[in-house]
Amino acid sequence: MSNEQLEQLRSELDDVNLKLLALINQRAGLVQKIGSVKRESGVNRFDPVRERKMLDHIAEHNEGPFETSTLQHLFKQIFKAGLELQEDDNSKALLVSRKKQQNNTIVDLGGELIGDGQQRLIMGPCAVESYEQVTAVAKAMKERGLKLLRGGAFKPRTSPYDFQGLGLEGLQILKRVAEEQDMVVISEIVSPSDIETAVEYIDVIQIGARNMQNFELLKAAGSVNKPVLLKRGLSATIEEFIHAAEYIVSKGNSQIMLCERGIRTYEKATRNTLDISAVPILKQETHLPVLVDVTHSTGRRDLLLPTAKAALAIGADAVMAEVHPDPAVALSDSAQQMDIPTFHSFIDQLKESGLYK
């Protein structure tokens, strides 16, 4: 074969490549159109019956030189890329996504702006037990210039025989302490029917890990004008977490903070495994502020400081930890809450590290 013939064949190959390119993209355009029709009619994107028919059709028309199995493999890759394209379109449309909104969402908690670049601390007892207990923690926090007080009035406990929280009385205590000590209060709500009452008492609705996929609760929280602190589910993927936030935003409430609180793994040294890389991933994928709960992720008092440093270093907008005047007698999470002197040294050491201003 002469050099000229070789050049001629190469040029034909280039032309075929360009035709294939155009055809593959033409196919992708059709796949996108089919995807949007399916989305509107609520039909599943992946249709294995249809895929099988297409593969059979290709086999029937194959005249070689490729083996049918080779061609089916190539087409399967094209089908897969088409499916991913439809999925991409879907995530583009998510209201919480960075693609939808470039700027960071800043959530205003009574003048404390979460997501404005200043990293903050959210602290308080696991459960509201008494007016005196909450006041003691609030006073210590106030001394250190902290305003964001958390405390559970409705406690979603693993066992029904464990302390379930003071309920409405707990919310009343939080409101009273917030007024007296000039605090902003965050408390978990576990039932959609409690939201309406709760907004009269608290400044931020917390949705706990066990309720991350309680869709009726998410929708109810999305229907009120109150910031929401949404915690990642015990075994939730980042994608599921983002979709849970989308439930809230889709109802009109965009004041959401995401909270990484550890996920369930095979590791037993900590109560959960703190997925620290979730912080930058969530910040890349969404425009929402991201918090790290060091208490429930570790379940260990000795790990609160190092994990808080890690959270600040990786860019969390706030760190959350539990403080109790006397953890030994706490009605919940007594193993991991800090007492007040430990709380002070926690703040001192964070400041000394230069990570917390």
Among 126, 173, 221, 330, binds Mn ion (CB under 5 A): 126
Distance from C-alpha of 17 to C-alpha of 22, rounded to nearest angstrom? 9
In 144-293, alpha helices (H): 168-181, 192-198, 215-222, 238-250, 278-285
Binding to ligand PEP, residues 185-224 (CB under 6 A): 188, 208-210
Task: From residue 262, give the alpha-carbon distance in Å to each of 58, 135, 285, 294.
Answer: 48, 29, 19, 8
Distance from C-alpha of 19 to C-alpha of 134, rounded to nearest angstrom? 71
Binding partner at 151 among Mn ion, ligand PEP, none, C-beta below 5 to 8 Å by kind: none
User: Does residue number 321 form part of the binding site for Mn ion (CB under 5 A)?
Assistant: no
Token pair recorded at residue 216: 């009726």
Nearer to ligand PEP, 153 or 350 (CB): 153
Segment contacting Mn ion by CB under 5 A, of 20-28, 216-224, 227-235, 327-335: 327-335
User: Does residue number 233 form part of the binding site for ligand PEP (CB under 6 A)?
Assistant: no
Binding partner at 330 among Mn ion, ligand PEP, none, C-beta below 5 to 8 Å by kind: none
Distance from C-alpha of 176 to C-alpha of 142, rounded to nearest angstrom? 15
Segment contacting Mn ion by CB under 5 A, of 71-79, 283-291, 309-317, 326-334: 326-334
Among 333, 346, 347, 350, binds Mn ion (CB under 5 A): 333
User: Does residue number 311 form part of the binding site for ligand PEP (CB under 6 A)?
Assistant: no
Distance from C-alpha of 228 to C-alpha of 248, rounded to nearest angstrom? 9
Torsion of CA 323, 142, 175, 336, to 10 degrees: 0
User: Does residue number 178 form part of the binding site for Mn ion (CB under 5 A)?
Assistant: no
Least Cα distance to 45 among 36, 55, 54, 53 occurs for 36
User: Does residue number 296 form part of the binding site for ligand PEP (CB under 6 A)?
Assistant: yes
Q: Using CB under 6 A, list all residues that contact ligand PEP.
A: 126, 152, 188, 208-210, 231, 261, 293, 296
Q: Using CB under 5 A, list all residues that contact Mn ion.
A: 126, 333
